[in-house]
Amino acid sequence: MKRASRKIDKQAANSKPAGAEPSAEAAFASYAAPLVDDAIELANAVREDASPEALHKLRVSLRRLRSLWWAFEPLLDKGENTRQRALYKYLANAAGKTRDWDILIELIAQDERVAHEMAPTLEAARGGALATSRETLSNADVKHLLQDALTSANKELNTARERVPLQKFADKRVSASERSLKKRIKRASQAKRSNYTAFHDVRKAGKKVRYLLEFFEPVLSGSHKRTLKRLKQIQKRFGTLNDIVASEMLLRDNTDLLAGSGDTDAALEWLKKERKRRMRAAAGLLRKL
């Protein structure tokens, strides 16, 4: 589904009125509509499909929406844009709470002894998180929220007095995201190993750049293949680090819930060692960027 939506995005962005360069305002719907449709479909699917993959796809879809609204921030009402991005983050976090348990279960499975003892309790906790995720998404009425957001933004852009050429706008927004990433890489490379927040900021900034390149690639001036290659390295290295950190935090926050289910101390000790190893690996990659 992700590949399909990207294809739609590119085809729509490539379509130009005869004799005229498309404007960013006019192109917005061609980017946003497929993403909104995907998110609605995935939110509906989660009601029936409780698999880790379904939840992961929904969270990614909502993150892409948030990045697109960030990209068009200069053309939209600032307050409304901020509220919409906060909404996408809220919905993504709702799906993410269950996904965090999935990641912890996958990591713990690497130690058969610990996994065997803790599996029933972890699965029960995951089931509780899933019920909460589904309830939150259902109560939020994702379909109407996203459709209303799309309609509102599209109306505002279509009634704007000025028009910005799409290529100029896309180049400028991608450049802004790349500058932000460079700042965060510099900050993280100078930070202490214990400062995970600095590393996490690099990962988030890298995702934003990657999403924007996926959106605007057909209309951007110049090649961004080298940047995409670097982003894939960041995503892989920093993603595995984030999995460990989030799992360690989740386990520590639920020690009472997991009491008596197995050797949580052994699991925490393994996660701690793995976190340090992956922090070193992430720091090593920063030195090469």
pLDDT value, residue 20: 63
Predicted TM-score of the model (pTM): 0.86
CA distance 157 to 143: 21
- What pLDDT, on a 0 to 100 scale, did the predictor assign at position 279? 93
Helices (H) and strands (E) counted in the chain, each on its own, are 11, 0
Residue-level pLDDT at 234: 93
Q: Find residue 165's DSSP bridge partners.
A: 23
The DSSP code sequence of 103-151 is HHHHHHTTSHHHHHHHHHHHHHHHHHHHHHHHHHHHHHTHHHHHHHHHH
Specify the pLDDT at position 210: 95
Domains contained in the chain, CATH given: 2-288 (1.40.20.10)
**Over its length of 289 residues, how does the chain's per-residue pLDDT go in tens digits?**
444 444 444 444 444 434 467 999 999 999 999 999 999 999 999 888 888 888 889 999 999 999 999 999 999 999 999 999 999 999 999 988 898 999 999 998 887 777 778 888 899 999 999 999 999 988 999 999 999 999 999 999 999 888 999 999 999 999 999 999 999 999 999 988 778 999 999 999 999 999 999 999 999 998 888 888 889 999 999 999 999 999 999 999 998 877 776 678 888 888 999 999 999 999 999 988 7
Q: What is the pLDDT of residue 219?
A: 94
pLDDT, residue 50, reads 80
The pLDDT, as a whole number, for residue 142 is 94
Q: What is the DSSP string of 237-261?
A: HHHHHHHHHHHHHHHHHTHHHHTTS
Tokens representing 271?
């996660």
Q: Distance between CA 118 and CA 264 in Å, rounded?
A: 8
Q: Within its chain, how far is the Cα of 279 from the centroid?
A: 21
Are 202 and 181 in contact, with CB atoms under 8 Å apart?
yes
